[in-house]
């Protein structure tokens, strides 16, 4: 499975930064990603602040990116 569009492989993880018009929109996106992550029992590293969110998907036990990470990256992008 290829790297999802607009994602980059950085230091063994799929990474993407999302831009939002304000803090509340960024936080709402983080909450939607959190719900997806909880439902799938697979959790990204999330960094966010005013108007921006960075997601990093990777599988610790595999030591890098798996098809599951690629799938969840693509699905999380659809939540933006």
Where are the domains positioned within the chain? 8-77
Helix, strand, coil in percent for the chain, rounding step 5: 40, 30, 30
Q: Identify the pLDDT of residue 2.
A: 79
Q: What was the pLDDT predicted at 8? A: 93
CB 4 within 8 A of CB 75: no
Q: What's the CATH code, domain 8-77?
A: 3.30.1360.20
Q: What is the pLDDT of residues 28-69, one digit of tens each?
A: 999 999 999 999 999 999 999 999 999 999 998 888 999 999
The pTM of this model reads 0.91
Tokens of 10: 């950085």
Residue 65's pLDDT is 94
């Amino acid at each position: 499975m290829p790297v999802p569009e607009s994602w980059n492989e950085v230091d063994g993880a799929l990474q993407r930064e999302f831009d939002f018009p304000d803090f509340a929109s960024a936080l709402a996106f983080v909450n939607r990603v959190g719900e997806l992550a909880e439902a799938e029992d697979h959790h990204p590293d999330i960094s966010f602040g005013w108007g921006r969110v960075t997601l990093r998907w990777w599988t610790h036990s595999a030591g890098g990116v798996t098809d599951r990470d690629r799938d969840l990256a693509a699905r999380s992008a659809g939540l933006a």
